[in-house]
Structure 1
Amino acid sequence: MSGSTIKIFSIIIFLVLISKSYSQCFVSDIVISQSPTGVKVQGKPEWSVSITNKCHCIQGDVILACKGFQSLEPVNPSILKVSPNGCLLNSGKPIQKNGVNFKYVSDQQYPFKPISSGYLCTSL
């Protein structure tokens, strides 16, 4: 290889490595916001939950910490599947731009917290 070919190849490798480091997602990129809806069910408040992904990459297989979570009215298990090891969000499918939303009924706001996810970034 000539010197200029090696330089170009090195620049391409460098740019690929830099782009990979900027393509990482973390569970901290998953943002959960909650608010009361104002609706009461059997005297208990209804809560609206919105979960969004702030990473530019796709995040799926999102698991939330949810030990002891209960709702007076059931949450659709395709949106939030409760298990002893955590709650699977959106049946493991990626969180889209508009996020994942659901409602539950409980005396208090439940402190959902993302604990794991899988992500996929496509590169050029």
Structure 2
Amino acid sequence: MTNSIIKIFNIILFLALVSKGYSQCSLHDIHISQKQTGATIHGKKEWSVTIANWCSCYQSNVMLNCKGFQSVEPIDPQFLKISGNVCLVSNGQPLFRGVTVFNYAWDKPFPFIPISSKITC
């Protein structure tokens, strides 16, 4: 009887920890910052974008709202693939606690907003 109770307790504890791991992370853990590089490309300011995952789990297939995004500087699609109003970060590869950086050139910084990701712990 005691053995069964311990097994049930361990199973419940395991499930609680697994579910907590998945609920720890969210799109709020994707942090995007921008700063001017000081360069000018075709009369537009160049901006350096840093995208970081601050969660202990990794997030893949990170999508950003890119509606209205423009750049006179080409962007390597390996870092930011633009498809209509949505942008895919790092070719969909997992963002561990790492960072993705790319540059673009426009008059002012664009407000990149994460809209979806796949979280894996």
TM-score (norm 2): 0.91
Aligned-pair CA distance for 1:12: 1.1
Partner of 1:32: 32
Moved over 3 A (4+): none
Larger deviation: 107-116 or 43-52?
Answer: 43-52
Partner of 2:65: 65
Partner of 1:49: 49
Aligned-pair CA distance for 1:42: 2.4
Q: Which runs of 5+ in 2 are unaligned?
A: none
Q: Deviations over 1:40-76 (max 9, x none)?
A: 1222111111111111111100000001211111110
Partner of 1:105: 105
Q: Which runs of 5+ in 1 are unaligned?
A: none
Partner of 1:9: 7
SS at the partner of 2:21? coil
Partner of 2:114: 114
- 2:35, 2:47 within 8 Å by CA — same for their partners in 1? yes
- Percent identity reads 45
SS at the partner of 1:32? strand
Q: Deviations over 1:8-57 (max 9, x none)?
A: 11221222122123212211111111111111122211111111111111
Provide the aligned C-alpha RMSD in A.
Answer: 1.3
Aligned-pair CA distance for 1:85: 4.3
